[in-house]
Amino acid sequence: MYSPVNQPRFPTDHFINRDLSLLQFQRRVLAQAADPSVPLLERLRFLCIVSSNLDEFFEIRVSGIKEQIRLGSRSAGNDGLTPGELFERVSREVHQIIAEQYSLLNDDILPALEKEGIIFLRRTLWTEAQREWVHDYFVQEVMPVLTPIGLDPAHPFPRVLNKSLNFAVELEGRDAFGRDSGAAIVQAPRALPRVIRLPREICDHDYSFVFLSSILHAHVGELFTGMRVLGCYQFRVTRNSDLFVDEEEVKDLRASLKGELQQRHFGDAVRLEVADNCSEEMANFLLQHFRLTRADLYQTPGIVNLVRLMQVPDWVQRPDLNYAPFLPGLPKALDKRRDIFEAIRRQDILLHHPFQSFTPVIDLLRSAADDPQVVAIKMTVYRTGTDSVLMEHLVRAAQKGKEVTVVLELMARFDEEANISWANRLEEVGVHVTYGVFGYKTHAKLLMLVRREDSGLRRYVHLGTGNYHPRTTRFYTDFGLLTCNEEIGEDVAEVFKQLTGLGKASTLRHLWQAPFALQAQVVAAINAEAEAARAGRKSRIIAKMNALLEPETIEALYAASQAGVPIDLVVRGACALRPGVPGLSENIRVRSVIGRFLEHHRIFHFHADGEDKVYLSSADWMDRNFFRRIEVAFPVLDPRLKRRVIKEGLRPYLGDNCQAWEMLDDGRYRRKAPRGVSRSAQRILLGELSANA
């Protein structure tokens, strides 16, 4: 199929490719695993995070590139790269990253763990007692659930689940029926643990582990009685996991999505990982079966799924090898007041996670469920997890007769099944469950309570930059605002009306809302700073986000830079903007901060002729957030809280010289080296805001 080349709207040398920028982010995460100042078990965790991130990168990003190539597309992106050119560069970069990752694991992290008494035993090093224990484990726990499949006309190649562990076995000889196909596949059920701890009494170290792959390698011959095993090779296939629901065909989104989820595990293959001992013949056979090329083959000197090591830091009880624990703090406004409604009536309350606790949000919903004066609860849910205390409070509120409405985003990637399950549970108790607006993901984080008081009905609102997910609030940096400001409450009520009903969008007083106005209002605020600079007035833009990709916003930032506006951007992940280019962006600095916590809050600060406008948001400056999602950016109106956002959410990150990386104009990054006093934004905030302080 032929596709003409589309001309990008803006000069291609203005932009860094999104996918190549994402891979630069993986390099920064990998650098945390290489950093000897990071606790050892946390270094192992960072190494696993890189593998998890790359899995999703292949499932979504690489699968999209390969689909464009399959359709014959030659359309270039904003950066000028065609799909074919991009795939070549992505493949080359990922191969390098994975080679560095395994080198770091095998040559640095595993030897360091062994010195600490944490060892992953190779088969060649097992003692006789360990061999006996492993054999008993294989016979009792592993062998009964395995189904070896010999490949012949009556036994075709089995369906291989996405990211599952499998073994390709080369055999010699004939079986009881005279068959001699020479090959078999053994699939490791997901119920089996991939890492097994050996009993202390048969080991010389405190923590001795073996891999399931080592156990199966050692005893695979017992699955093929009378046959000679010539080789046994781990392999793993990553598949396209993007979901597609046709807007023209769908009648019931939840039912349609359930059907799609069943096929997610069997999408088109996009990557094949094999152990580096795999024979050339078997590697080629697997590539041919999965319709992949050599560029899609990743040979690993070790287990093919490092994500499985993520559990090890939780199993090993060595506090000295982990980050020091801390107790999240509470704002002074909530320290001694038992009535959270009274506290919010007195003043707006800002929560800064994970340094401050998410408990006030849970307490607010718990109080609402129990308070007879609360008559209605409305909430958006994007990600909340399979076990959520917030959802349980909503269930209890509905059981107590309150009007509960939940806008549940069924298309939250990789959380679809959990959200469908919650939809069923909520509907069973009478909650009004809607799925927002088809074609637009509901990503805004909104909670509104309507309470009957002496003065009439009053709205209490929580707006956040992060998900209503109590677990991730312990690891993600986010802001949350509790307020009963009447005008903000009216804006939030209007957004809920759009999400559950029908009608034209109304002009909101304070919130900037996507997909109607958020991008235009961001660009207008940038342009206003540029106008101020041209007029000789003071100007300033500071923004923090996860990703910066939308081309018109980037062009507006370039224009503001050329007008003389000082611009500081803290962008954790992908950034398409080129900073520091003479004549284009010499007044723009971009940095990324990678540390103990995942930087997640979005903060937009404009000088605005001394007004210092500060907005918090769930939205990155990306096309999807601006035009294909329902998002809000909300202002911090209280001057005291506005100063806090700048002091806590921006200044420490601009001054960080320990965990900050400066972006160069070619898309690469250079780590900041401490000169004089070391300053880590996350450590500073822990010291100032946690209860330990």
What angle (nearest 5°) sits at the alpha carbon of residue 12, between those of residues 8 and 18?
90
- From 535, 522, 514, 540, select the one nearest 646 (Cα to Cα): 540
Residues 6+ positions from 467 with CB-CB distance below 8 Å: 382, 383, 384, 445
CA dihedral defined by 255, 261, 263, 268, rounded to 10 degrees? 130
What is the C-alpha separation between 249 and 252, in angstroms, rounded?
Answer: 9
Query: Which residues make beta-bridge pairs with 380?
Result: 407
* Residue 403 CB contacts under 8 Å (≥ 6 apart), including other chains: 375, 376, 377, 432
Q: Strands, DSSP E only, in 188-281?
A: 195-197, 207-211, 228-239, 269-275
Task: Report how far residue 682's alpha carbon sits from residue 545's, in angstroms, rounded to the nearest whole number.
Answer: 16
Element containing residue 404 per DSSP (H, E): strand 403-408
Q: Is residue 493 left, alpha or beta, with left meaning phi > 0 and alpha meaning psi from -120 to 50?
A: alpha
Q: Do you know the residue count of the chain?
A: 693
Residue with tokens 């991009």: 86
Answer for the pair 286, 306: CB distance below 8 angstroms, yes or no.
no
CA distance 362 to 365: 5
Nearest to 274 by CA among 238, 249, 244: 238
What are the φ and ψ backbone dihedral angles of 573, each rounded to 5 degrees? -110, -120
Q: Distance (Å, rounded) from C-alpha 86 to C-alpha 65?
A: 8
State the residue for tokens 């001054």: 655
- Which residues neighbour 217 within 8 Å (Cβ) at sequence distance 6 or greater? 123, 167, 232
Q: How far apart are CA 690 and CA 329, in angstroms?
A: 4
Could you say which DSSP state residue 444 is in?
A: -
10 Å Cβ neighbour count for 412?
18
449-453 long-range CB contacts below 8 Å, 24 or more apart? 449/364, 449/368, 449/374, 449/376, 449/377, 450/374, 450/375, 450/376, 450/377, 451/341, 451/368, 451/371, 451/373, 451/374, 451/375, 452/373, 452/374, 452/375, 453/373
On whether the CB atoms of residues 675 and 660 are closer than 8 A, the answer is: no
Three-state DSSP string of 8-57 = CCCCHHHECCHHHHHHHHHHHHHHHHHCCCCCHHHHHHHHHHHHHHHHHH
Catalytic pick among 443, 469, 601, 607: 443
95 is catalytic: no
Contact between 518 and 545 (Cβ < 8 Å): no
Catalytic residues: 443
